[in-house]
Structure 1
Amino acid sequence: MRKINRTREETKVQDVIAHPDGIYAVDSGYGRPQLAAIHLIVHRGRAAVVDTGTNASVPRVLAVLAALGIAPDKVDWVILTHVHLDHAGGAGSLMCAFPAARLLVHPRGLRHMVDPARLWEGTMAVYGPERAFQLYGRLVPVAEERIVPATDGLTVELGGRALHVLDVPGHARHHICVHDEFAQALFTGDAFGISYRDLDVDGRAFILPTTTPTQFDPGAMHASVDRMLGCEPQALYLTHYSRVGEPARLSADMHRLIDTFVAVARAARGEGVARHVEILAGLEQVVREEAARQGWALGEEASVDLMQLDLELNAQGLGIWLDSLRVREAAAA
């Protein structure tokens, strides 16, 4: 890996983007290029890792840290926005590599880091056992004494740089984001949706909610988007994929599209596979309409193709939400 040029505000070096304020985006290698980012925060010779990718991502993180001159014992924090495995699958392996680091994770996710068995069962239910192992490998547990519960309002420090925890459910009940005062930025995981660089037009980013299984809650997602915007960030760092600006514009699109996704789900008829197919078709049409509305670089059909896996998982999540909604409505009747 070539030395990272820190004199430019944003420089690509292989699978690394050097952003302002000591923030680096490392392509996790998950799925395809620029699908999932691992963010490094480097400050006064110390480092934090925000989301970890999978076990296969670990050599990439170590290589970038070495290129930046950060030894493994100078990594103070491994921070998980949530424990879905494209964000947290490599956490246990990275903790083995960083002897002084502590793992910061939502209290609801803590037990899954100590004992990943149930997390693995849920992943197999979505992908099947063979595909799950191909994607994520063997999950490595983390000793409980090395874990700090990421409670709402908690502040941790990185070389004197304050990182504040916000509890932001909606995508998952165990989801946090991190407010970095120094950078005037938020690390949002999936709580502020996804924004693929393939769709950008002249550097202008676009956003879509992610409703993947199994804990989508539209009301909570709306509230979390408003709470994040209330921090008045200048930039958002999304796992899918990295830095976006114009938070006010993107939050308006998030609110509109959350409601649109919900409307698609509520309009679906039937049960089981038939309902799923109808929701999926509805989401594909939303993407086509959004591509036309926003003038995405890829156009309508190419955008649908790019997002096919996301749309499949979103449709699954919306179906699970519908089922839980019906149970709640029946109980209240």
Structure 2
Amino acid sequence: MAFEIYQDIGHDIIRIDTGMVREGLAACYLLKGGDDYAVIETGTHNTVPRILALLDDKGIGPGQVKFVIPTHVHLDHAGGVGGLMQALPNATLLIHPRGARHMIDPSRLKAGSLAVYGEQLFATIYGDVIPVEESRVRIMEDGDEVAVGDRRLVFYDTPGHARHHFCVYDPASDGIFSGDTFGLSYPSLTTENGPFILPTTTPVQFDPEALKDSIRKLLALQPERMYLTHYGCVEHPAVLGERLLSMVDDFVALAEDVASTTEGDALEAGLMTAMTEYLGRCLEAHGCQLSKAQLQTALGMDIQLNSQGLAVWLRSRAVS
């Protein structure tokens, strides 16, 4: 079956593959409420043409999109905000209080990524990061609501993955757009035992206790489904949430174990080795048989980012 860039997932929501790095890695969503629309997550600047092409194909005027809503300002979620806002004249950017300044002036976000990737790779992965006019930015506090036409969205502060993270509850679908708070679950790892889910501990603000509190906060809403950025809609979140909470604890124990025998520059490499082995065992128990090469293809980037985030957390804890 050919991969679908756009997928109607019901409840007047279309999943859009952002095209970042590979198919099936990152998603954003177009949500319809009456005659109005919202884009939740934007992907990177390179994703903007895909979103605009969908609007054109569906006969949706750019002026009908009322809100652009990244869950947090990491560039795989918010890198396309500025470019998209330029194309949507009536849209307001809804953003976490801690993230607003980075969308108005994204120079620090861009500089940090350029330092990591270099100009050529940054352009390939992210394209660019364009500022948003302050007058078009609206900060959303915990519990705030907006109306998208006849549809209501509720915003919840969910630190743990990042301090500038919120999640968005959609009562119409009884679903939550969870960003990175409710972890990662790639369809390619789904088996007869259901989706395989794992936490994301990306640098530099991972806080395990805050993350667990945020996961519990989402579960307390008793939603029917989660709309993950990585990747797509998953159901039965109560079951997945318990697994996720357990894995956060496992990640912490793994990190502490590696740190007890490893120092300095070897810490991150040790974490990557331990996490690869741990996830390999978890996948096997889940009924997903992967070779080492297949595991690296599916989760190699996440293993690296998670290990980097755990290393930052260990070092910050050591000096606090």
TM-score by length of 2: 0.95
How many residue pairs are counted as aligned between the two chains? 318
**1:304 and 1:136 mapped to 2: Cα distance?**
22
User: For residues 151-170 of structure 1, what are the structure 2 equivalents within 5 Å?
Assistant: 151-170=141-160
Q: Find the partner of 1:290 among 273, 282, 285.
A: 282
User: Structure 1: which amino acid aligns with 2:284?
Assistant: A
Q: What's the secondary structure of 2:172's corresponding residue?
A: coil
Note closer, same or farther for the CA distance 1:304–1:295 as it changes in structure 2 (3 Å cut).
farther
Q: 1:174 aligns with which of 157, 160, 164?
A: 164
C-alpha deviation, 1:129, in angstroms = 4.1
Match of 2:36 in 1: 46
SS in 2 for 1:153: coil
Runs of 4+ in 1 over 4 A off after TM superposition: 297-301
Counterpart of 1:9 in structure 2 is none
User: In the alignment, which residue of structure 2 is the partner of 1:275?
Assistant: 267
**Counterpart for residue 331 of structure 1:** none
Give distance in 2, aligned partners of 1:124 and 1:217: 25
Q: Is the CA contact 1:200–1:297 (under 8 Å) kept in the aligned structure 2?
A: no
Does structure 1 residue 308 correspond to structure 2 residue 306? no
Structure 1 letter corresponding to 2:316: S
Q: 2:54 is aligned with what amino acid? A: V
Distance 1:301 1:287, change over 3 A: farther
- Is residue 16 of structure 1 aligned with residue 9 of structure 2? no
209, 218, 230: which one pairs with 2:220? Answer: 230
- Over the residues paired in the alignment, what is the CA RMSD in angstroms? 1.7
137, 152, 157: which one aligns with 1:147 = 137
- The answer to whether the Cα contact below 8 Å between 1:199 and 1:297 also exists between their aligned partners in 2 is no
Measured in 1, the distance between the counterparts of 2:293 and 2:279 equals 9
CA contact (8 A) 1:291 1:303 kept: no
SS in structure 2 opposite 1:48? strand
User: Which deviations, in whole Å up to 9, do the C-alpha atoms of 1:111-149 show, x marking residues without a partner?
Assistant: 000100111122234434442232112211000110010
**Residue 309 of structure 2 corresponds to residue 317 of structure 1:** yes
- What TM-score does the superposition give when structure 1 sets the normalisation length? 0.92
For 1:308 and 1:236, the matched residues in 2 are separated by 24
Deviations 1:238-266 (A, max 9, x none): 00001000101110110111111111111
* Residues 1:60 and 2:45 aligned together: no
Residue 91 of structure 1 and its aligned partner are, at CA, apart by 0.3
Report the AA paired with residue 141 of structure 2.
T
Moved more, 60-69 or 155-164: 60-69
Please name the residue that 1:264 is paired with. 254
Question: Relative to structure 2, which stretch is displaced further, 303-312 or 283-292?
Answer: 303-312
3-state SS in 2 of match to 1:87: helix
Q: Which whole-Å CA distance do the structure 2 matches of 1:221 and 1:21 have between them?
A: 28
Shift of 1:43: 1.9
- Post-superposition offset of 1:35: 0.5
Q: Look up the equivalent residue of 1:22 and give its one-letter code.
A: D
Q: Provide the rounded CA distance (Å) in 2 between the counterparts of 1:271 and 1:150.
A: 41
Q: Is the 8 A contact 1:154 1:164 kept in 2?
A: yes
Give unmatched runs, 5+ long, in structure 2.
none
CA–CA distance in structure 1, aligned partners of residues 209 and 294 of structure 2: 31
Deviation at 1:176, TM superposition (A): 0.5
Residue 131 (structure 1) aligns with = 121
1:306 Cα deviation after fit:
1.4
The 8 Å contact of residues 193 and 287 in structure 2, kept in 1 or not, is answered as: no
Name the SS for the 2:68 alignment partner.
strand
Cα distance, 1:193–1:256 mapped onto 2, change above 3 Å: same
Identity, in percent, stands at 43
C-alpha distance 131-106 of structure 1, shift in aligned 2 (>3 A)? same
